[in-house]
């Protein structure tokens, strides 16, 4: 065995060992954010019963506080965290990379995400968990000195994958997302490291939460062939809407971000008032992650108001533009489930399609809308299967997600995460030039 090969094997083993430690950290971060999210939901329900006007005032007040803390102490914590992780992969300068994957950023992300969850903003927790995972894994270079290759393509990718996996107890989806979206290119030599970190993070979550399906078991079948007739319709509509949402965010984000730096109180106040107003219009349904609504629709077949997904999408867009550290997955899937109820009502107008299961239509719509927004069709399908144990829905979801992805790409030519990563890097370079 050559010396180079032995050296590589030693580095790989060392990376997996420290990756296991980081995996424990990612699992604990996921547990913390899940606990906070659940507690924040219970808090909102109690306030909604006793003093609902307080609930609608929380978003503007907390958004101002978050923006102040972010600009003063935690620059680099804004947004979902996935664009920052992608940006870190694109950087060649280790000093620059360390600025967005530092322990300061990790602590700031945890604090601001906690505030965001309590504010009632329409946000998930997978993005902050991905960023936190990348920070933790990147920190391991303090323990073992790795070459840039390991840091750039291995460790950071593993942390991001573990973040997705731990957030939803979806290990395969975490690995797939790291390949499909975060990494964009993948070296199979990193697969072992990514798998180890994901495995450890998920084990920690299972130990703390128990082994569970994120939404619960959704039992569907493909007994009705007629659903295939409507898949292209659902996919085109959801892909188009998802692509439009992403295109609007990509165009508006740099404008709003610049305005927020100039008006650090007025802009967050305005966005917070709008989020609170949408919460008031929906009787609190658009506040929070959207998990409860999605679960009630999928598992308990509860009917939501027809306007819920429209208000949810608007609230999610406003939250993303505000710079609150929060994710897209939960609210996107929640809106997709209600869009599925729309299509179920349409499908059941036809007598020959009246036997199509509403849950199956909802799963297809969720996969299509997710694929339209995030432009990661394989992740959309895998994560929903792991969230619901709906293996029988895999083929129709995949068919719809592929079509939705193609439609979305016609409207928004680049993934929302990659676009926001490019915007982040451009703003960072601009700030450096201004300081110079």
CATH of the domain at 370: 1.10.3080.10
Kindly tell me if the per-residue pLDDT of 327 is higher than 80: yes
Average pLDDT over every residue of 164-183: 81
Q: Which residue has the higher pLDDT, 160 or 142?
A: 160
Do 121 and 249 reside in the same domain of the chain?
A: no
Q: What is the pLDDT of residues 101-110, one digit of tens each?
A: 888 888 999 9
Q: Which residue has the higher pLDDT, 301 or 152?
A: 301
Kindly tell me if the per-residue pLDDT of 435 is higher than 90: no
Do 239 and 326 reside in the same domain of the chain?
A: yes
Kindly tell me if the per-residue pLDDT of 149 is higher than 80: no
Do 99 and 184 reside in the same domain of the chain?
A: yes
Do 306 and 381 reside in the same domain of the chain?
A: yes
Query: What gap in Å lies between CA 83 and CA 81, rounded to an integer?
Result: 6
Q: Is 216 helix (H, G, I), strand (E, B) or coil?
A: coil
Provide DSSP, 327-391: BSHHHHHHHHHHHHHHHHHHHTTSGGGTTS-HHHHHHHHHHHHHHHHH--HHHHHHHHHHHH--G
Provide DSSP, 298-313: HTS-PPPPTTHHHHHH
Task: Decide if 214 is inside a domain.
Answer: no
Do 258 and 153 reside in the same domain of the chain?
A: no
Average pLDDT over every residue of 154-170: 81
Q: 171 near 23, Cβ under 8 Å? A: no
- Write b or e for each residue in 17-36: b if 16 or more Cβ atoms lie within 10 A of its Cβ, otherwise e: ebbbebbbbbbbbbbbbbeb
Q: What is the pLDDT of residue 205?
A: 82
Query: What gap in Å lies between CA 50 and CA 72, rounded to an integer?
Result: 35
Q: Is 124 helix (H, G, I), strand (E, B) or coil?
A: strand
Phi, then psi, of 284 in degrees rounded to 5: 90, -5
Task: For residue 139, count other CB atoms closer than 10 A to its CB.
Answer: 20
Do 20 and 72 reside in the same domain of the chain?
A: yes
Task: Decide if 430 is inside a domain.
Answer: no
- For the four alpha carbons of 7, 182, 294 and 218, in that order, the dihedral sign comes to negative
Q: What percent of the chain clears pLDDT 70, i.e. is strictly above it?
A: 89
Query: What gap in Å lies between CA 367 and CA 166, rounded to an integer?
Result: 20
Short-list 252, 280, 228, 261, CA closest to 70: 261
Contacts of 130 (CB under 8 A, 6+ apart): 80, 81, 82, 85, 159, 160, 163, 164, 167, 182, 327
Do 231 and 188 reside in the same domain of the chain?
A: no
- pTM for this model (two decimals): 0.92
Task: Decide if 275 is inside a domain.
Answer: yes
Short-list 149, 189, 127, CA closest to 331: 127
Phi, then psi, of 414 in degrees rounded to 5: -135, 145
Q: What is the pLDDT of residue 98?
A: 79
Number of domains in the chain: 2
Domain boundary residue among 146, 181, 209? 209
Q: What is the pLDDT of residue 436?
A: 52
Q: What is the pLDDT of residues 51-90, one digit of tens each?
A: 888 888 899 999 999 999 988 888 888 888 888 888 887 7
In terms of phi and psi (left: phi > 0; alpha: psi -120 to 50; beta: otherwise), the region of 302 is beta
Alpha helices in 146-264 (DSSP H): 148-149, 156-168, 171-177, 191-209, 227-262
Q: What is the pLDDT of residue 170?
A: 86
Q: What is the pLDDT of residues 340-373, one digit of tens each?
A: 999 999 999 998 888 889 999 999 999 999 999 9
Do 348 and 419 reside in the same domain of the chain?
A: yes
Q: What is the pLDDT of residue 270?
A: 94
Do 44 and 148 reside in the same domain of the chain?
A: yes
Task: Decide if 257 is inside a domain.
Answer: yes
Q: What is the pLDDT of residue 51?
A: 83
Note down the domain range covering 368: 227-424
Task: Decide if 337 is inside a domain.
Answer: yes
Token pair belonging to 235: 């996919």
Task: Decide if 165 is inside a domain.
Answer: yes
Do 411 and 283 reside in the same domain of the chain?
A: yes
Q: Which residue has the higher pLDDT, 186 or 248?
A: 248
Do 201 and 238 reside in the same domain of the chain?
A: no
Q: How many residues does the chain have?
A: 436
Phi, then psi, of 214 in degrees rounded to 5: -55, -50
Q: 421 near 87, Cβ under 8 Å? A: yes
Do 198 and 294 reside in the same domain of the chain?
A: no
Q: What is the pLDDT of residue 279?
A: 92
Domain boundary residue among 183, 209, 235? 209
Q: What is the pLDDT of residue 181?
A: 66
Task: Decide if 187 is inside a domain.
Answer: yes
Task: Decide if 218 is inside a domain.
Answer: no
Contacts of 259 (CB under 8 A, 6+ apart): 267
Token pair belonging to 46: 């109690």
Q: What is the pLDDT of residues 2-45, one digit of tens each?
A: 556 665 666 667 666 777 777 888 888 888 888 888 888 888 88
Strand partners, 124: 327
Task: For residue 306, count other CB atoms closer than 10 A to its CB.
Answer: 11
């Amino acid at each position: 065995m050559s010396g180079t090969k032995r050296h590589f094997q030693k580095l790989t083993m060392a990376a997996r060992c420290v990756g296991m430690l980081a995996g424990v950290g990612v699992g604990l971060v996921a547990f913390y954010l899940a606990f906070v999210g659940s507690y924040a939901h219970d808090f909102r329900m109690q306030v909604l019963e006793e003093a609902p006007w307080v609930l609608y005032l929380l978003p503007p007040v907390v958004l101002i506080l978050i923006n102040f803390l972010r600009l003063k102490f935690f620059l680099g914590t804004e947004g979902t965290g996935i664009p920052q992780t992608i940006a870190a992969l694109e950087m060649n300068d280790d000093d620059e990379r360390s600025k967005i994957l530092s322990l300061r950023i990790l602590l700031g992300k945890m604090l601001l995400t906690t505030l965001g969850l309590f504010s009632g903003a329409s946000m998930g927790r997978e993005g902050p968990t991905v960023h936190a995972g990348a920070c933790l894994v990147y920190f391991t270079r303090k323990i073992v000195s790795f070459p840039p290759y390991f840091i750039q393509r291995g460790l950071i990718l593993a942390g991001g994958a573990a973040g997705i996996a731990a957030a939803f107890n979806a290990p395969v989806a975490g690995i797939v997302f790291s390949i499909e979206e975060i990494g964009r290119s993948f070296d199979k030599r990193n697969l072992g490291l990514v798998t180890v970190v994901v495995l450890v993070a998920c084990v920690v979550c299972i130990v703390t939460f128990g082994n569970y399906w994120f939404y619960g078991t959704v039992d569907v079948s493909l007994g009705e062939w007629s659903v295939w007739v409507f898949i292209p319709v659902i996919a085109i509509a959801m892909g188009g809407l998802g692509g439009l949402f992403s295109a609007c965010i990509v165009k508006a984000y740099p404008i709003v971000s610049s305005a927020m730096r100039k008006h650090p109180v007025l802009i967050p106040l305005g966005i917070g008032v709008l989020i609170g107003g949408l919460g008031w219009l929906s009787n609190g349904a658009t506040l929070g992650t959207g998990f409860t609504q999605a679960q009630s629709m999928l598992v308990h077949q509860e009917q939501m108001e027809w306007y819920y997904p429209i208000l949810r999408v608007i609230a999610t867009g406003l939250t993303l533009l505000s710079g609150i550290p929060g994710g897209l997955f939960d609210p996107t899937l929640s809106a997709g489930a209600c869009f599925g109820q729309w299509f179920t009502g349409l499908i059941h107008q036809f007598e020959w399609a009246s036997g199509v299961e509403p849950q199956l239509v909802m799963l297809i719509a969720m996969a299509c809308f997710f694929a339209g927004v995030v432009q990661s069709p394989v992740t959309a399908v895998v994560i929903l299967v792991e969230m619901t144990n709906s293996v029988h829905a895999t083929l129709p979801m995949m068919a719809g997600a592929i079509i939705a992805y193609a439609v979305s790409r016609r409207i928004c030519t680049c993934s929302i995460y990659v676009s926001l990563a490019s915007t982040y890097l451009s703003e960072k370079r601009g700030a450096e030039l201004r300081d110079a």
